[in-house]
Structure 1
C-alpha cells in the first residue's frame, strides 16, 4: 500500500519580525530605504556600521551625502534612481563616502518599491563594503602591466601604450619619439657579480632613465637589459638626440653595486612617428633597426633610423659640446656696430656676439637656441652684459660721452626672475646708469612676453632702460602690436629696404610704417643701410637713426674706440 506524499510547510515568519531582524542584526550589509526625493526613510545596523551615521542623523536627509564629491556634482544618486525605475534595478559599483569623509568601494543594488498601480513610492538600497577585494583586484591588474623588478611598465603595457600614442600622434599631428635603450655590458656584470647584482643594476638603470626624462614620458622595461621610452609632442625630431645624449651621459656614470663600482654604457635607437613610420609595429621595427646600427657602430652611442635625421642630430650635439667648451673657457668676443644720426654722428652701438670656428659661421639665433637647450643662456647673457658694461666704462673713462649701447635679449632670458637684478648689479659695479643701455628684443619675443603675462618690459621701462623692437618686419609684423607693446624704439629690418628708393610700393610701405611709429611716439632706426640713396630717402621719411655697412661694419672693441673718437660729438 502506497502512502500519499505530504508537503510540509514551515509556519510563516511574521513580516514585522523579519524586518526587525534585518534592521537590528544584519551587520555586513547596509540596508536602507529612500523616498522619491532621495530622502532616507529607514536605516539598518549594517548601514550605520558601514557609513558611520546613526539613524537619527541620516533619516530624513538626502542620500546624496553618501556619494563622493565628484558623483554629487554629476548627480549620480538621481541617475541611479532613474535607472532603477526603468529597469527595476540599478547596480551600484563605485566609491562611497562615510561620515568621516573616508571612502570605500561598494557593491550594491537599488530597486524600486512600487504601489499596487506600479508607481514607484520609494527605493530599497542594499550594498556591502568590498574595498579589500577591489584593492586586491586593482593590484592584480597593476601587476599585470608592471615590471616587478624595476617598477616600470612591462612589455604588455608598452605594446598597448605604443598603439595609443601612435593613434594620438596621428590625430593631433604631434611628433612621437621612440627610443630603444639596450645596456652594453650588462651580461658581463651579471656573469661576474651574479644575478642579485644584475637585478640591482637594472633597478638603478630604471631610476636614472626616469630621472633624465620628462614626467609625461612613458618608460618600460621590455625584458632582460632592454628598455623603451616613448615621448609625445616632441618639439622636433632632433630632441630625440638631445635626450639620448642625456641618457648616455647618465648611464656611463659609475654604479655602486654594494661595495663594487661598476661602469657600463648603452646603445640607443631612435625612430620618429610619422617621419619614419605611422603604425605601432612599423615604429618599433624602425627603432630596433636604429638600435642595431648603434650597436654595430661601437656602442655607447645613439642612431636615428633616418640617415638625414641622424646626421642633423649628431651635428647639433657636436655643437652643444662645442658651445659648452667655449663657455667654459670664454672663447668668444663682442663686436660693436655703430648707430648714427642723420649727420653721421654716433648715438649708440649695438653689441654683437662673435664665436670662433663652426659656430661662428652659424646664425646667432642658432647659437642662442643651443645655449637655451643646454641651460647656458643665462650664463651667456650675464657674460655679455658684464663685458658690455666694462667696455662702456672704458669709453667713458676715455672721454667718449653721450653714448648708449644696445644689447640683444630674448623672452626666455627676460623671464628669468633674476634678470633685472643682475642687470642692475652689472651697471652699478661699473658706475653706469640704466639710460646708457637699450635692450633689443624681436617682435616674436615681445609678443611672447605679453601673452605670458610677464611684466618685465614694464619693469625695465620703470627702471629707466630703453626698449627696442629689433628686426621689425620679420616676425608677426602686425602694426596693431606697436600700440600695445611698451617699447621706445623700432628697428626696421633691412628687408624693408629692398627696392628703396627705386620702387614706389617699397617706398610707400616704409613711409607708412615710419609715420605710424612717429604718431605712436616711437623712435625709428633703419637697419641694413648700404647706399647714400637709401639713407637720403630714410632721412626724408623721418627715420631718427641709421645702422649699416654704409657707415660701418661691426668692429672689434679697439676698432670701435678709434671709430667713435672721430664720429662722436663731444
Structure 2
C-alpha cells in the first residue's frame, strides 16, 4: 500500500487492502484448522481462498506499467516474488491451494512484462513459478509421508497404552529387572500377586520372589531352573508355566520376558509379563481327566487303556519281554440292569471297579472299556503262572456277593487274555486277540479264564463266513425244516412233530443248528428266519390230521418283539391252521432280559389259543416263578436228565419224578427228550412222562416222510410198532 500510495487513489487503495486482509485471514484460519491432528483436509475451501488471494495480488501488476520510478517497479517485482515463495512454503500441506496462488500470482506478474516488451523478465517469473511448483510437489509428498508416520506412531502409542491398561486391569502384569536380575519399578499389582508390599519387592532378586519359601532349600521346580538358565545366558523366554506359592496357596503363573538393551547395546536387565493361569490350568486338567478317565468309576477309560497298552508293547519289543492284555466281561450283569434298573447297575459297576482297583500293583493298569467291560494292561507278563493266578483272582473276587441298596447281588466275570507281542504286535491286534479269548470264555458259560490261541482266530473267521452266507440263505432257498415225531409214552401214537431248522449250503455243506443258530441270534437274523420257520411249519401242519400238533422253537429275540403276536395271528390266518394245533417252545433264558415284558407277551400268545412249552427245563435258571407266572401247556425234560436217570443216577431220577409231579399238579403235560433206547423208554414210562421224543421213535424226518407218517398213523390198524416202523 505504501508503494502504490502515489499511483492509486486512496479509496481504491483502502479497498484493495481490505480485500487483501480478508482473503489472507480466511486462508490463515484454514491453515490453523489444518494443523489439528484429526482435522479433515479443507481442500475446496483452501483452494477457493488461495484463488481469491491470487486475484487480489493480481491487481498490483496492472499498476506496474503506470509506475514511473524504477525503484518502485523493482520493489513491486520483489514483493510479488516474495509472495510466490512464501505461498509455496506456507501452503505445502495444501498443494492445490499453493499451486493456484503461485500460478495466479505468476501469471499476473509475467503478463505485463511480456506486454511491455520485457520477455526476459517474464520468462524469469515463469521459471520461478515452475521451480516453486516443483518444490510444492516435493514438500507435499514429504508432508504426506510425515503425516502417515505420525498417524502410525499415534496408533501404536494408543495400542501400547491400551495393552498397558489391560495389563494393569486384567490378570496380567508387567515387571522388569536391572542387570543384576533385581526387580525395579515394582507395580502394586505385581506386589499383591507376590503377597508382599511394593516397597518390599523393590530390589529383591526376581528368582527369589518366584521361589518363595523354597529359595533357601533350593528345592525349586524345574521351570524356575529353566528361567534362571535363560536369564544367565541373557536369552528371551516365553510361555513358561511355573508353580508359585502365595500365602500358602499354589498358583500357576505363565511368564515371558526379553532382555533390555540401552542405546549403546549394553544389557540393562529384563522386561516381561506374568499371567495367572491357575483357573485355565485347572480347567484344562478337568477336561483332560474327562477325556482319559471314566466318569462313572473313575478308572482310566478306553483311550488311556489303549495308550498304556501301546507303551507296554513298545517296551516289550524294546527289551524282548512280554506284556499282556486282559478283557473282563461281567456275567449276568444285564439281568441286574433289566430287573433293578440302571441306577442300581451303575452303583454295582462302582463296586466292581473298587474291587478291581484293590487287585492291581504298579505292574498293572485297570480301566473300563464301557458298559460292563473292563480291561487290565500287564506291563511285565514274563511269568505266565502269575498271569493265570491274576485272572483267577479277578474272577473269584468279582464273583463274591455285593450289597447294593439292600439288594444282595450275585454276578460273575469271564476273562480273556492275550500276550504281546506273540498274540499281536499292535494294541489293536492284541485287543482283538483278547476279545476272541473272552468270547471263548463266555461261550463256555462264563466264570472262566481263557488265553488266546490261533485256533480262535480261525473260528472267528469261520463265524464271519457263516454269518455272511446266512444273510443270503433265505433268499437262496437254502433253509429247510425237518420234523421229529413226539409220541404218547404208553400207546406210541404220534401226537405231533417238532419242526427243526436245517441249513444246506452249496459250498459249506450241511451246517448244524448248534453252529449257525447262535450266530443268527448275534447278527439279529433270527427274527426273519424265525418268521420263515413259523410260516413254513404252520403251512405244512395245516395238511395233517386234525389232532396232530406242530411245535416250533422260538428265540428270546422274537419274544421281545411286541409285533410277534401279530406275526402269529397273521400266520394262522394265512395257513388256516387252528391255534390249538400250534405249540411254541421257549427256554428259561427268555425271562432274564425283561421278565415283565416276556410274561405279558406270552399271556397274549396264550389268549390266542396257542400252546406253550418250556423247553430244556432244569438246565437253565430253574426258577419256579416262571411256571407260576405263565400257563405252560407242557414241560420238556432235558435229555441229560433222561440219560443220567437211565444209568441209575439217583439225583436225576428224583428231579424227573419231582418235575412230573409238579407238572401234573399244575395241569401241565411232560415230554422226555432224547429217548434213544428201550431202557430209557421204560424209565420215562415208569416216572410218569406223558410224551416221548427221541431217536428211539424216529430221527428228524424230511417233510415228505413226516407228512406220510402223520397220515399213516391215522389208519385204524396203526399200532405203536407200525408207528416206529413208519
Of structures 1 and 2, the larger Rg is shown by: 2
Bigger RCO (CA 8 Å, 6+ sep): 1
Which has a greater percent of helix? 2
